[in-house]
Amino acid sequence: RGALYLVPTPIGNLEDMTMRALRILKEADVIAAEDTRNTKRLCNYFEIETPLTSYHDFNQEQGGEKLLHMLREGKTVALVSDAGMPCISDPGKDISMKAMAEGFAVVPLPGANAALTALVGSGLPAQPFLFYGFLSRQKKERKESLEGLAKRHETIIFYEAPHRMKDTLKDMHAILGDRKIVLARELTKKFEEFLRGTIEEALEWANSSEIRGEFVVIVEGADESVIEEEVTWWSALSVVEHIEK
Ligand code: SAM
């Protein structure tokens, strides 16, 4: 009987590929990839010769039908996105639901994910947390979403593109007020760094720097103390860069 595996791939460091993920990619009949060229590079690196097919946001109908057809033929399909976990701000939910509806096993593999890695490294409470993902690109919708989040007590995790960071931090400052924030940049990569400070400090930094790289933005929940007196290292947007040998 066909099975759909949801296979996480590294978010930077290729060593974060798990042994099980490698085995599933090798043994699957087909790898459905968000970007086949990108996944081809990963496969070449790990000497995986499984055929690739395309499955992304813009061919969910057609691509999905093709994958369901393979599942009906008893094939094993491994779904990967460009980086991290499929389904987490990435394609995967649609085909998973269709496969489940037809009674196929949908098997999620644990592995690399930017949100949880950032949360764990942030120093902010790891539970309860709320994963928001990307805010809307539209100013009005982005503001409305932030207004809806303003009273939540959970630590909130956002994904954001570098070129939208200034606008997002500006809206966060206006709507959430000043709170602790952590910008987790280039996780697992050579120049990984954590910037810890307040939203105001982050905004000042964003206004005076060229913002590059990939970011997870973690904001503390409502009603937490903004800066605890004793935690002196937290202020002034301290930057901790770590270069792994
Ligand atoms: N599916 C992925 C996951 O499990 O984390 C997320 C894919 S989403 C399209 C891409 C966003 O994830 C980026 O814009 C950034 O916010 C975040 N991201 C991915 N890799 C990252 C990294 N190495 N460091 C920091 N953020 C990262």
Assembly ipTM: 0.99
User: Does any ligand 1 atom lie closer than 6 A to the CB of residue 67?
Assistant: no
Q: Residues 152, 187, 94, 34: what is their CA dihedral angle, to the nearest 10 degrees? A: 150
User: Does any ligand 1 atom lie closer than 6 A to the CB of residue 160?
Assistant: yes
Q: How confident is the model at residue 228 (pLDDT cuts 50, 70, 90)?
A: low
User: What's the confidence (pLDDT) of residue 58?
Assistant: 81
User: What's the confidence (pLDDT) of residue 233?
Assistant: 57
Atom 23, ligand 1: which residue's CA is nearest? 187
User: What's the confidence (pLDDT) of residue 29?
Assistant: 98
Helices 199-208 and 165-176, axial angle in degrees (round to 10): 150
Element containing residue 66 per DSSP (H, E) = helix 60-72
d(CA 175, CA 147): 6
Element containing residue 140 per DSSP (H, E) = helix 139-149
pTM confidence score: 0.93
Pocket test of ligand 1: the residue of 7, 216, 241 to mutate, having most ligand atoms within 8 Å of its CB, is 216
Q: How confident is the model at residue 189 (pLDDT cuts 50, 70, 90)?
A: very high
Q: How far is CA 238 from the centre of its chain?
A: 23
CA of 1 to the centre of ligand 1 (A): 33
Q: Residues 10, 13, 18, 21: what is their CA dihedral angle, to the nearest 10 degrees? A: 30
CA of 135 to the centre of ligand 1 (A): 14
